[in-house]
């Protein structure tokens, strides 16, 4: 008759639980995490309309961007990992020391598992060294790959940082335009109410105020996302924004050399990476050298007896390995790598030409917008001269015309900013942008 030893079954169950781990109910874990998110949702939903207002200038926003922006944080983490990857290449040359503690029991020994003689006879301990020389063979290839990854991470981090800074700069300009628009429409409506007693102007004043508040809310929400700070309502204040000085200095001059820009470096990196992948495929056709140093177990305990290493048993093994590509996998992989190399080069050349065309187009458009602004400024000056000689009614009419001209200028400046922002990510422009912040 088969009998079941409860003690043995309990030990087996404990071992099984240790193998599968402590987390046995995935749906419960997800439910708990969902409850946490629900609390965050409800808490913010109740507070979002009562958040305090915090006014910040450009330099304060830069500090907040460095401290909280998630995109920059992720890019910097990738860069840190890439730097550590180079050190890891050389750390992999260190011998790998492995220790193993084992305890094995037969079925009839389960009820005596913790008795001294049973533990002594079944407890084992081993310490040995592996992979002592294997890392030297692939060291040049792995070091080259790690440096390529570092170059890519540096470029990506700089790209992300510039994009985030310029996006934030666009928010500041958007806030400035909203303030200008509110001020201009307010002056026009005040003049209408003063000279015409227009009741509709009162409603338009309230409407313009509501539109400004809606625009400010959108800007604040975008700033919260960039700073990863949702505990206040942000109000962006124009404070030493650098673009005005840059435009006056002729930032978009055709004399600036863009061939050394970060964007061109990224294209060059893609080309080198595609060529390196082809070289790696060519190396597959060569024999590989296998070199290893095998050490005996450094220390062993078995059945209560200890044993140290006998270094006379140390063995050095070397050999050449070559695999014949009878199935054609290597040939296919090489052909695909060569195609990708040629494709990347052609695509890179096309990108360079597109960059040149886009730069020329934007410079032409910027020149046209500058000419339009000069025309509006000349018209504004004529209106001001005429208003100094006119009567009260004519001054009111001229003032309305002047306000409309100011709105046209503001709209053209908005278009000019949209053309400028993508250019500011390029190195010569970016250096001027950074210098404008000093």
Give the residues across from 236 on adjacent strands.
56
Condensed to tens digits (0 to 9), the pLDDT of residues 358-370 reads 888 887 888 888 8
Question: What crossing angle do the helices spanning 329-387 and 262-283 adopt, rounded to 10°?
Answer: 180
For 142, counting Cβ atoms within 10 Å of its Cβ (0-12 exposed, 13-18 middle, 19+ buried), the class is middle
- Are the beta carbons of 309 and 295 closer than 8 angstroms? yes
**% the chain with pLDDT above 90:** 15
Q: What is the pLDDT of residue 248?
A: 47
Per residue in 215-254, pLDDT tens? 888 888 899 999 998 888 888 887 666 655 555 445 555 5
Q: Domain segments of the chain: what residues?
A: 242-286+344-433
pLDDT exceeds cutoff 70 at 392: no
* Residues 308-325: b if buried by 16+ CB within 10 A, e if exposed: ebeeeeeeeeeeeeeeee
Report pLDDT digits (tens) over 134-157: 667 778 888 888 999 999 999 999
Q: Residue holding tokens 């004043």?
A: 205
């Amino acid at each position: 008759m088969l009998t079941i030893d409860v003690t043995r079954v309990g030990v087996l169950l404990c071992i099984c639980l240790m193998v599968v781990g402590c987390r046995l109910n995935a749906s419960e874990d997800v439910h708990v995490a969902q409850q946490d998110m629900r609390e965050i949702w409800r808490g913010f939903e109740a507070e979002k309309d009562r958040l305090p207002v915090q006014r910040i200038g450009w330099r304060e926003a830069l500090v907040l961007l460095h401290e909280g922006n998630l995109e920059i944080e992720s890019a910097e983490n990738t860069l840190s990992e890439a730097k550590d990857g180079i050190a890891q290449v050389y750390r992999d040359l260190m011998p790998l020391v492995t220790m193993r503690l084992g305890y094995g029991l037969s079925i009839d020994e389960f009820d005596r598992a913790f008795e001294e003689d049973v533990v002594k006879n079944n407890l084992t301990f081993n310490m040995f060294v592996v992979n002592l020389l294997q890392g030297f063979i692939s060291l040049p290839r792995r070091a080259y790959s790690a440096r390529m990854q570092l170059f890519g991470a540096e470029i990506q981090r700089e790209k992300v940082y510039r994009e985030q800074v310029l996006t934030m700069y666009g928010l500041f300009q958007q806030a400035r335009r909203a303030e200008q628009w509110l001020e201009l429409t307010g002056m026009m409506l005040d003049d209408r109410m003063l000279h015409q007693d227009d009741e509709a102007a009162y409603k338009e004043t309230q409407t313009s105020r509501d539109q400004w508040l809606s625009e400010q809310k959108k800007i604040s929400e975008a700033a919260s996302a960039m700073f990863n700070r949702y505990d206040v309502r942000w109000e962006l204040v124009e404070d030493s924004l650098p673009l005005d000085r840059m435009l006056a200095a002729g930032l978009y001059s055709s004399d600036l050399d863009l061939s050394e820009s970060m964007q061109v470096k990224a294209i060059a990196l893609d080309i080198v990476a595609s060529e390196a992948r082809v070289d790696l495929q060519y190396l597959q056709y060569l024999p590989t050298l296998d070199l290893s140093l095998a050490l005996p177990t450094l220390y062993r305990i078995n059945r209560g007896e200890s044993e140290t290493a006998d270094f006379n048993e140390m063995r050095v093994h070397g050999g050449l390995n070559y695999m014949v590509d009878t199935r054609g996998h290597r040939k296919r992989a090489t052909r695909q790598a060569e195609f990708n190399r040629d494709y990347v080069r052609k695509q890179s050349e096309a990108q360079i030409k597109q960059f040149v065309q886009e730069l020329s187009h934007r410079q032409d458009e910027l020149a046209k917008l500058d000419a339009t602004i000069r025309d509006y400024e000349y018209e504004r000056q004529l209106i001001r001269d005429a208003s100094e000689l006119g009567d009260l009614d004519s001054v009111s009419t001229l003032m309305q015309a002047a306000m409309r001209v100011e709105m046209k200028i503001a709209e053209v400046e908005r278009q000019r900013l949209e053309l400028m922002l993508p250019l500011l990510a390029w190195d010569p422009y970016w250096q001027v942008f950074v210098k404008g912040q000093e």
